Amino acid sequence: MSCIGAATAAGAAGLYLGLQMNTKEQVVPVKPAELVLGSEVGSLKAPAVIPNTDYENEPKPAYYTDTSTPMHERMESFVLDLQNRLVTALESLEPSKKFHRDRWEREDGKGYGISCVMQDGQAFEKAGVNVSVIEGTLTQGQLKSMRDRNPQTAKKLDAGEEYDFRVAGVSVVVHPRNPYAPTAHKNYRRFEVYKRNDKSAGPVMAWFGGGADLTPAYLFEDDVKYFHQTLKHACDAHDPTYYPRFKAWCDTYFRNIHRGETRGVGGIFFDDLEDKSPEELFRFAYDSGNSFIRAYVPIVAKRMTMPYTLRERNWQLIRRGHYAEFNLVYDRGTKFGLMTPGARIESILMSLPLTARWEYMNKPTPGSPEEKLLETVRTTTEWA
């Protein structure tokens, strides 16, 4: 039975952290002479309660039920709220640093963002929780990319027309310091398209996109199952077809084609989602976005105190190199941002790790934990 099924959903994060702390897989036998790294683990301690993991039982914010407010404004309120909630949860694990909050305005006056970034912490080597609320005119390259990926979009966007866009979104990437604690990514957004200079007529089309995924350097199957089960629980509350659809989409999308492997062990991913009313989709985005805190932060709390050596650190950096390859070569969000005139490059490239490593012809030892990870990302697994 899953963690979600074994207890109330509200207590799942605490249950996972509490019951797993003393399992055998927590103990990694290492000779004292090998402890060349990881001096930070002695000063790290998981909090008794991780904040903001009980989103289902907490009072809903005003924007959740205020249907009189335009959806774009409600989405803006949501991503700002979600940013604050995740920052608080991550800071509860980090004794040495707080997030640096950097509010910026576009030079053309068409929007703003708040980049919350932490670097060189004891628990987190780099973590970014960014909000962008921007608008502009879609370039021909962006329009072509949107038409190519979705036939329905191609039908709604006339080839001879020019279009404006408006988007509110939150983008998250967390790179823990400990090699046994996985990297994770989350993104939720609402995208609206208008005929050029004609917002008063309403959007020609609008959709939700997003998801969350996990990228470990070392595989702990219980962690991966818990992560997927928690996301599935949030999906099932709105549509039982969502998790299997979005899990398969995630496995397909987050793939380093040139290496024949997925970026990590997946999660959920969706884009151009407009199959239900905006209200229904907004509530799904709210639950799914908040479920990430419950799904991910307890895993970091569980793994961040495990001892490690230079071997594990180097493997972590090699896997981060593969992570960076995907973000720079394939990721649509990165490409869209870099193609947008006046874009803030520092925020777009926030997802890249602080450090990475490329070794020529690196091959893990047969039967090693490193090889097990490679075997896992070279296939797909049903985790929930």
Catalytic residue numbers read 185
- Token digits for 65? 């039920």
**Cα angle: 312, vertex 122, 53; to 5 degrees:** 100
Q: Is 348 helix (H, G, I), strand (E, B) or coil?
A: helix
CB 66: neighbour CB atoms within 10 A? 11
In angstroms, rounded to a whole number, what is the distance separating the alpha carbons of residues 353 and 31?
Answer: 29
- 96 in Cβ contact with 54 (< 8 Å): no
CB 39: neighbour CB atoms within 10 A? 10
In angstroms, rounded to a whole number, what is the distance separating the alpha carbons of residues 244 and 225?
Answer: 14
Residues forming a β-bridge with 262: 255
Our measurement of the distance from residue 131's CA atom to the centroid of its chain's CA atoms, rounded to an integer in Å, reads 13
In angstroms, rounded to a whole number, what is the distance separating the alpha carbons of residues 139 and 144?
Answer: 9
Residue-wise DSSP of 250-263: HHHHSEETTTTEES
- Residue 13 parent element (H or E): helix 12-20
**Tell me, what amino acid is at 91?**
E
Q: Is 216 helix (H, G, I), strand (E, B) or coil?
A: coil
- 41 in Cβ contact with 306 (< 8 Å): yes
